[in-house]
Structure 1
Amino acid sequence: MTKPTNITWHETSISKENRREKNGHGSCALWFTGLSGSGKSTIANAVSNELFRQGISEYVLDGDNIRHGLNKDLGFSDYDRTENIRRIGEVAKLFVDSGKVVTTAFISPFRSDRDQVRALFEEEEFIEVFVQCPIEECERRDPKQLYAKARRGEIKDFTGIDSPYEAPEQPEITLHSDQVTIEEAVEQVLTYLRGKNII
């Protein structure tokens, strides 16, 4: 794809700092990553609900929901997975620029893709949240019956079965979702945000 040369970046008249000051809190991207069935979406939504309850300006970007719209043209090849994450990273950056705490719930299996997204943000704006859960537990839960279909060969390139998942090496937060309750996971995330003076 040829990059256009006739476009120019325009600075907005209202800055990210202006929006944060008006909101009364910081902004960041909470990037939830983990295997299917690990609890990413459930915990991300629970975090967002609690932030909303506390008056924090927030938004959730969910992997399945994004594939119904913005990324409906993408499949699950390595290239498409990378492009899926690239687009979401750019969208998440816009939300952070708008002064919101954005929670994202995506398997995002490749470490290099997550690192490229991290590079879009200023220091401490990208918070990688590893929802760690043994694949055996994820398969036991299997809320969408995806593992069962993958085991039968009905789904190809399924992460954890015939496509790799590269776990984060130094995530800001690790949630052992097979060992803690949703409420405990939420509090762990909020404690981190308070410690960084984001909320």
Structure 2
Amino acid sequence: MLRKYRFVLDADGVLLNFDRAWRGCTERVLDRRMEVVDPVYDLGARYGLPTASVAKAWAAWDVTEGWRRVPPIQEGITVARMLLDMGHSVTVLTCLPNEYAEQQRRWCLDRWGLSGAQMIAVRATKKGGLSQCRPHFFADDLLVHCVEARDVMVPFIARIRYCEQEETPDGIHEFGGLEEAVGSFFRQVGYPLPRLG
């Protein structure tokens, strides 16, 4: 019988396209097209927006239940569903501002077919969630959380390249998407990976 592994996956930038949803909301509120001026995590700096415009966008996001409407990154959702179908443990470890956002995020994950995945929501650091889950594999688009995973000795850490441009340090693997990352992990542990398409 094949071994079952514990996978912990970030939501935004790995499974869900938060940037697309937030950009669309902001374009409607500010009535102008948004262009990336600096590929960084901070949304104001990314789109060259003043603090007042960012606050206005977040207010509209909250009123329109933005967390519920985030579209999928189809590759990520497909891989996560495949892992669940194979009997592996999948936990979505996500940073969210409040419990209302958590409820919307859970609804969104269920909508995209991940009702079998557990969800842990945190406000900032992911160290506690990673220590609780003790995953064999962790994927996130933010370098700071990948470093946290390295600090708590996660064996395989996949940084999914999304917006940040910092150099990836030793002990963290960099990939263009979740399918490539999971494939690399399974090859490393000698686990047969089924074809997705």
When normalised by structure 2's length, the TM-score is: 0.41
- Higher RCO (C-alpha 8 Å, min separation 6): 1
